[in-house]
Chain A
């Protein structure tokens, strides 16, 4: 295994990594399937009598069987099982438990649901018309927008339509619930948020948290789709397991998972922008509207992040952003990599494009004129946070040179003049992604580090592994602090009985939060071992505890100093190595050194144990300095910003609207990565995922809001042929992110937003063949592209 590999890559490739549904089937285990609504909004009656006649069926459960039926991360407004009324097509109604999976799947067809339809709202426009909203409209405002528009030389306005997207984690929602003695229950599930799953299970079943243990070993992908939405499925399996006192497995089919679970929130945003002859923006008004679906889920927080990212990378002196979540009868939309950010950023980028088109300038010029800069006080965001360690000017200068932008722009112009079958477009867009949960209390983590007597380590944190490599990064931080190889530590499955009250592994924060906590716990152990080593190494080795303690011939070595207590993972650490040393003791290459004296790490551990020194420790970490006032819309929302730029070159087929992404160059500032290889994997994965969202992933619903494209045969995520023909990823050198643990930067979400460059490149290509700047929606499917090319023909044939 190479040093930078994912910690379980070697078992992944052998098919030996255990996912939840790979767990052996236990004696007496039962299998569940979920009956869900096919109507948007209706009163329902449930008749399970036919299903119950099936000899393979053991039980059917409905809302009345749930102890507390309402759950929700922010507002407890969503039933685990619909009670008398359904609010979206796909809403769970009844649970069928059978002796095997296939029987459950057939039996659920026998549960009869009678619907009495109620009026439904299936779009943002309808919701606005009926004032159907979730929570109040929110505002962020800076400067005097009215005055800016009054004196503006140029004004533009418009609307941008952004569809949702399915997470398409390969492993569907899945849980096995095991009843245990004395009313306890153990849940094995695929969740980004074991703590919330534990709480929802306990609440739904009327149990204490102490009686519910949730374990997440790994997920087959999450991307936000298992942040809140894993919990109710765990509660469903747990409900049957508790009632029947038998293990119960619920593993959704891809089709059912896609129909039932919420997606990336669709947005429909309005904007007015005021700018001067140079394209410098003076005033901007943005009204964001999202489709929250039938229940609140995380939509209000997602909207908040969209509002905080409506500036993207641009300094806008006078700016007003409003955000309103609409309540519709769609599946409750939820977190998805980027969490609202992409919808704010796409809006900012289309505004830039339109300004450039209006002034007849290259959009790159407009971008560079508007980005945040330290000069002239253009470095404060619209919510009043000073933007420190701004790399944007460097990023723009470097990518423009590295990807040969100006030459390619000329080539494309020549190509587009001479070719009647294809048209090309080119675009660079930036991202400045705020890192931290915008909800302050979530910015905390805890970790347990155990050193065993042979010198090997186990680490337990609240972080969940979904392929992003959080385990590999945490173990690298911990072992390097102790001068050990990474494979000397194992990060254990996430369990709520080891790490409680944890935050979801979300907001790109997994390593920042949990890595910091694990490092703090490690330093406590290191501090004790250092003091111990400083005393031990002064003694001749024949007087060490291993030679004398059993005989009781020597006094025990005791530590004089109090335990280390710190909330800052960079405190006392050498900035370049990231390591902290205590008592002049160094941990290097599996050895512990005091000047010229040394002892093997494992031997030191053994001597420390015999001297009754604690070899395990626990630490809690909370991010300092997060003080964003949600009511006033002001404050330091983020610890720091991850930044990057990408250049996309696309080619469109003028006969069919088909897209080819010819080249993508990405340049990112990721601070000083713990694991560069894994970071680059995050960049390429996030970019392609974003590219799918802006180009081909098309959620199609029927008139009941029932998702028709609910499988990979109809919902197309990028495949290997869609990876750009040329795909370059480079990282900027940045040693100066002092805010975060070891100068690293979070990487999970930000590169997804760079895929907006592919969408603006499509717009750019279209602008060569149509007079008006295209107002193409996201996703820019073949059909949308062709429609932009032949508006009158489409009008003719759509009559």
Chain B
């Protein structure tokens, strides 16, 4: 058992107790370590100024294992146990600027300089990935996708895009070769093999090695929060509406990192959005594209898919995916496992079937083989914005255009992520034609009554749902 959180920062070993473990990483860097290159702007993971690089050698299911960008402002130090971290201060190689730095200077990617370290670090992550894949160039689109999670108010981004595509990948050394070695790897493996228990007046953090131990802890501590990487709760914590002080972390349980299966997929509780996207990019490209619009790379590199479902936000972007796939959730407690259909899981606003003593250990779903998927994410800004409306639609028809199965899921239109079951019923077994589509469209509005809020009015949400459904059905009918 350990009572310390262990990680490496810019190549140096850090072993910290409750005081530091309970801090957000950005605070630890800026105020404890004097590493003020990392900036904090929004403290909610929306601007990327706080980006640092993280290498986590224990993750499974990914074919790249590099330093990747994460937000330090909403990430509690405790959740980084077992990681190797790099800040902007680590990029320069002796007297030579890292290519991401050199290019940002030469291409005028930096004006006021406040967002710059975050951009440099994030771009550094892309350089790292490219070097590991032995790729020679960065395209404009790759640069934009990589930097979606970083806001700049000065440059209009053009200089930054110019910088990214001008990076000379041939001359850059990988950060992994500079900052990660066998000794560090061994140390982090040892760390990973030892459970954590930190008990302090203001901070309790428990990280067991098995699901069974986790369930027992939860049974005895029903008021504790299950935490993955605090990308959601960290925001609430930073806004001072909640203290992250009694926590159960599943990060030392290896099987939860698994995403496996060819037809039937099992997705563990520690699988991140980045890994999920990577896993389904060929089998469900529509969902991969949909995930590209959702959140920032920094968030997706940390945030778990199960966490996005568990938080049960009515505008969460993955619940409609799993509703449309008719996925199952596996919940574990000290009395064993039970399986819940996701369409039964969401009860009311932020209320779910999960009991306080249960842990969602995995999601199971079948990959769509014969059906067509379409996913729509609508928000005020196209990329990295909380949805006004999201929809995932899944339809299977026979050769005579008769609907064999259809699942329509939408977020942002009710207190929970919603299946539009009446509309589905009206189409199931029917030939998809003008008449059945019109009937469905006239029915759909009776199934939901959206709120007006700062993202969109009720009327807007209704019209977007109707238009999107209409286009999907007409496209399918015309195929």
Q: Is the CB of A720 within 8 A of B454?
A: no
Interface: B239 (CB within 8 A): yes
B433 within 8 A of A: no
A119 within 8 A of B: no
**B453-473 interface mask toward A, CB cutoff 8 Å, 1 = contact, 0 = none?**
011111110111001101100
Q: Is the CB of B37 within 8 A of A14?
A: yes
Interface residues of B in 55-105 (CB under 8 A from A): 87-89, 91-92, 97, 100-102, 104-105
Bound-state Cα–Cα, A721 to B454, Å: 22
Q: Which 8 A-B pairs have the closest CB atoms?
A: A15-B37, A467-B112, A220-B114, A467-B111, A12-B113, A688-B156, A684-B156, A797-B459
Partner pick for B147 among A684, A711, A720, A790, CB 8 A cutoff: A720
Total A-B contacts with CB atoms under 8 angstroms apart: 252
- Of the residues A13, A109, A467, contact of B97 by C-beta under 8 Å: A13
* A1-45 interface bits toward B, Cβ cutoff 8 Å, 1 = contact, 0 = none: 110111011111111111101101100000000000000000000
Residue of B102, B113, B386 ringed by the most chain A CB atoms within 10 A: B113
Whole-angstrom CA separation of A717 from B150 in the bound complex = 11
Q: Which residues of A contact B468 (CB under 8 A)?
A: 655-656
Cβ–Cβ contact B112 & A218, under 8 A: yes
Q: Which residues of chain A are near B151, meaning CB under 8 Å?
A: 168, 170, 712, 717, 719
Contact of A711 among B37, B42, B240, B388 (CB under 8 A): B42
Residue contact A13 to B120, C-beta cutoff 8 Å: yes
Give every chain B residue within 8 A of A18 (Cβ-Cβ): 36
Evaluate contact between B154 and A12: CB separation under 8 angstroms: no
Report B384 CB to chain A, min CB distance, Å: 6
In the complex, how many angstroms separate the beta carbon of B455 from the nearest chain A beta carbon? 8
B471 neighbours in A (Cβ, 8 Å): 421, 655
Q: Which residues of A contact B37 (CB under 8 A)?
A: 14-16
Among the listed B41, B108, B114, B457, which residue makes an inter-chain contact with A798, where contact means beta carbons less than 8 Å apart? B457
**A698-717 contact mask (Cβ, 8 Å, vs B): 1 or 0:** 10100000001101111011
The reply to whether A656 and B378 form a contact with Cβ atoms under 8 Å apart is: yes
| Chain B contact residues: helix, strand, loop or mixed | loop
Interface segment among B43-51, B129-137, B416-424: the answer is B43-51
**A696: CB under 8 A from chain B?**
yes
Of residues 430 through 489 on chain A, the ones whose CB sits less than 8 Å from some CB of chain B are 466-469
Does B272 sit within 8 A of A, measured CB to CB?
no
Among residues 372 to 390 in chain B, which have CB atoms less than 8 Å away from a CB atom of chain A? Answer: 376, 378, 380-386, 388
Q: Does residue B144 face the partner (Cβ distance < 8 Å to A)?
A: yes
Residue of A nearest to B445 (CB): A797
Of the candidates A8, A719, A783, A793, the one whose C-beta lies within 8 Å of that of B381 is: A719
Shortest CB–CB separation between residue B474 and chain A, in angstroms? Answer: 10
- Looking at the assembled complex, report how far the CB atom of A758 sits from the nearest CB atom of chain B, in whole angstroms: 13
CB distance from A648 to the nearest CB of B (A): 14
Binding site for B on A (CB under 8 A): 1-2, 4-6, 8-19, 21-22, 24-25, 102, 105-106, 109, 167-172, 218-223, 253-255, 421, 466-469, 654-658, 660, 677-678, 680-681, 684-689, 696, 698, 700, 708-709, 711-714, 716-723, 727, 729, 781-783, 786-787, 790, 793-794, 796-798
Q: Which B residues are CB-close (under 8 A) to A797?
A: 458-459, 462-463
- Using known A-B contacts A10-B105, A168-B153, determine if residue A716 contacts B112 with beta carbons closer than 8 Å: no
Binds A, one of B157-165, B322-330, B340-348: B157-165
In the assembled complex, B270 has its CB within 8 A of some CB on chain A = no
26 contacts between A and B (CB under 8 A): A4-B108, A5-B106, A6-B111, A9-B104, A12-B117, A14-B88, A15-B120, A22-B36, A168-B151, A170-B112, A421-B471, A657-B460, A681-B108, A684-B157, A687-B156, A696-B381, A712-B46, A713-B42, A718-B157, A719-B381, A723-B158, A723-B161, A727-B158, A782-B388, A783-B457, A783-B460
A713 to chain B, nearest CB (A): 5
B194 at the interface (CB under 8 A from A): no
Q: A787 to nearest B CB, angstroms?
A: 8
A684 touching B159 in the complex, CB below 8 Å, given contacts A656-B468, A714-B454? yes
Give chain B residues whose Cβ lies under 8 Å from the Cβ of A681: 108, 111, 154-156, 158-159
Is B104 touching A721 in the complex (CB atoms < 8 A)? no
Quick check: is B231 within 8 A (CB to CB) of the other chain? Answer: no
Besides A13-B110, A654-B467, A711-B46, 6 more A-B contacts (Cβ < 8 Å) are: A12-B116, A13-B88, A15-B38, A219-B112, A467-B113, A718-B381
Q: Are B463 and A685 in contact (CB under 8 A)?
A: no
Cβ contact within 8 Å between B454 and A709? yes
**In the complex, are the beta carbons of B459 and A794 less than 8 A apart?**
yes
Q: Of residues B34, B35, B105, B143, which shows the largest number of chain A Cβ atoms within 10 Å of its Cβ?
A: B105
Q: Of all chain A residues, which has the CB nearest B241?
A: A109
* A168-B153, A170-B115 given; A656·B464 CB < 8 A: yes
- Kindly list chain B residues whose C-beta atoms are within 8 Å of the C-beta of A796: 459
Residues of chain A lying within 8 A (CB to CB) of residue B100: 13
CA of A775 to CA of B364 in the docked complex: distance in angstroms? Answer: 50
Closest CB of chain B to A458's CB: distance in Å? 21
Assess the A253–B43 pair: CB atoms within 8 A.
yes
B110–A12 CB distance below 8 A: yes
Bound-complex Cα distance A8 to B39 (A): 17
In the complex with contacts A109-B240, A170-B39, A719-B384 CB distance below 8 A:
yes
Chain A hits for B144, CB < 8 A? 720-721, 723
Contacts A712-B44, A794-B463 given; indicate if A170 touches B111 (C-beta within 8 A): no
Nearest CB on A from B440, distance (A)? 16
The distance from the CB of B442 to the nearest CB of chain A, in whole angstroms, is: 13
Tell me the bound Cα distance from A14 to B113 in angstroms: 10
* Alpha-carbon gap, A681 to B341, bound state (A): 53
Which of B110, B161, B378 gathers most chain A CB within 10 Å?
Answer: B110
For A708, what are the chain B residues with a Cβ–Cβ distance below 8 Å? Answer: 454
CB distance from B29 to the nearest CB of A (A): 10
> Which chain B residue shows the least CB distance to A168?
B153
Q: State whether the Cβ of B148 lies closer than 8 Å to any Cβ in chain A.
A: yes
Contact partner of A790 (CB less than 8 A), chosen from B31, B87, B235, B463, is B463
Tell me whether A688 and B157 are in contact in the complex, defined as CB-CB below 8 angstroms, given that A9-B110, A170-B112 are known contacts: yes
Do the beta carbons of B380 and A700 come within 8 Å of each other?
no
Q: Which residue of A lies closest to B467 (CB)?
A: A655
- B114 near A14 with CB under 8 A, answer no
Q: Find chain A residues with CB under 8 A from B104 CB.
A: 9, 12-13
- Bound Cα distance A223, B151 (Å): 16
- Which A residues are CB-close (under 8 A) to B376? 656
Contact: B114 with A720, CB < 8 Å?
Answer: no
What's the Cα separation between A223 and B39 when bound, in Å? 19
A793 x B459 contact (CB < 8 A) = yes
Q: B462 near A717 (CB under 8 angstroms)? A: no
Inter-chain contacts of A689 with B (CB < 8 A): 153, 156
Instruction: Give the distance in Å from the alpha carbon of A328 to the alpha carbon of B458 in the complex.
Output: 28
Least Cβ–Cβ distance between A208 and chain B, in angstroms: 33
Inter-chain contacts of A729 with B (CB < 8 A):
158
Residue from B117, B154, B159 in contact with A15 in the complex, judged by beta carbons closer than 8 Å: B117
- Which residues of A lie under 8 Å from residue B153 when comparing CB positions? 167-170, 221, 223, 685, 689, 717
Q: How far is the CA of A41 from the CA of B456 in the complex (A)?
A: 27
B89's closest neighbor in chain A, by CB? A15
For residue A360, give the distance in angstroms from its CB to the closest CB of chain B. 30
CB distance from A668 to the nearest CB of B (A): 14
Q: How far is the CB of A700 from chain B (nearest CB, A)?
A: 4
Across-interface contacts of A657 in B (CB, < 8 A): 460
Given A698-B380, A790-B463, the answer on whether A13 and B41 have CB atoms closer than 8 Å is no
CB distance from B394 to the nearest CB of A (A): 19
- Closest chain B CB from A254 CB (angstroms): 5
Chain B hits for A783, CB < 8 A: 380, 456-457, 460
A18 to B112, CA, bound (A): 11
Closest Cβ neighbor of B466 among chain A residues: A793
Give the residues in chain B near A714, CB-CB below 8 Å: 386, 454-455
Q: Which single residue of chain B is at the shortest CB-CB distance from A166?
A: B153
Q: In this complex, what residue of A is CB-closest to B123? A: A13
Task: Assess whether A467 is in contact with B154, with CB atoms less than 8 Å apart.
Answer: yes
Cα distance, A184 to B49, chains bound together (Å): 35
* Neighbouring B residues of A220 by C-beta, 8 Å: 39, 112-114
Cα A612 to Cα B148 in complex, Å, equals: 59
